[in-house]
Amino acid sequence: MFTKAIVKTPCQNMVNGISAAGLGKPDYKLALKQHNNYIHALKECGLKVMVLDPDENFPDSTFIEDTCLITPRCAIITNPGAASRKDETISVLKAVKELGLSVEHIQSPGTLDAGDIMMVKNHYFTGLSERTNIDGASQLNTILTTYGYTSSFIKLESVLHLKTGISYLENNNLLAFGEFLTQPELKSFNILEVALNESYAANSVWINGKVLVPKEFFKTAEMIKNAGYQIIEVDVSEFRKLDGGLSCLSLRF
Ligand code: CIR
């Protein structure tokens, strides 16, 4: 069960965020509206939502998931792999301190984006990506071990972050597409296969029995419903333009 979430309001400068999507620039006003609807969906799942102020210095800072991993026993401030995103951690550090969480840090030359981390009970799968290097992943492993958790690594081939391609929906159900369908590390899961033309929806978010699914990915939404979940569709088209999905927009704990 999760009880809280932290989100960060997108800044106007988000239109200059990092993007490989080729879908054009986001519409800021629409992004703000979608962000509000996203907060509403988190509340519908029973979460108390802390909203951090926008920061024009960091175009990608609304993708707060990458800056911190919050486990039930500690918060780990990351060292984001993209140079323009490194200091996004300053505001999130302040927020987790305010919440009284025990805080750890990933240090250079280790880099880690927490979009590369997927929690499955007491185990944390870590994607080795363009953003998360082996040093960062090993530091995370050491920290997690200290707190009584385990972790293992998965080398990514084509996606930005681990959770771009897979999402854990609890009850051993894993949403996945492409390279993850045949990944030996994941073979004990019941895999719900996302069609290639809906691969964006592989980033969906389980919260307290409900699943947030991006809007208009009909086949995936139907599959998740058929697996017994209540779904909440959320339109995040403007964040998709910056390669961001539903999970990237919050820390849930
Ligand atoms: C970036 O490239 O860092 C942002 N434009 C998108 C980050 C998406 N975050 C995530 O997948 N966890």
Q: Ligand 1 test: best mutation among 160, 164, 203, 236, most atoms within 8 Å of CB?
A: 160
Q: Ligand 1 test: best mutation among 6, 11, 38, 63, most atoms within 8 Å of CB?
A: 63
* pLDDT at residue 69 in the model: 98
Q: What are the residue ranges spanned by the domains of the chain? A: 4-252
State if residue 60 touches ligand 1 by the CB under 6 angstroms criterion.
yes
Q: In the chain, at which residue ranges do the beta strands (DSSP E only) sit?
A: 4-8, 48-52, 68-70, 75-77, 103-105, 117-120, 123-128, 150-155, 166-168, 173-176, 190-193, 205-207, 210-214, 230-234, 251-252
Q: Which residues of the chain have pLDDT under 70?
A: none
Its pTM stands at: 0.97
* pLDDT at residue 62 in the model: 98
Question: Which residue minimizes the CA distance to atom 12 of ligand 1?
Answer: 115
* pLDDT at residue 167 in the model: 98
Is residue 68 among the annotated active site residues? no
* pLDDT at residue 210 in the model: 98
Class of domain 4-252: alpha beta
DSSP state, residue 182: G
Identify the burial level of 245 via C-beta atoms within 10 angstroms of its C-beta, where 0-12 means exposed, 13-18 middle and 19 or more buried.
buried
The CB density around residue 12, as the number of other CB atoms within 10 Å, is: 13
* pLDDT at residue 108 in the model: 98
pLDDT tens digits, 198-251: 999 999 999 999 999 999 999 999 999 999 999 999 999 999 999 999 999 999
Distance 244 CA to ligand 1 centre (A): 5
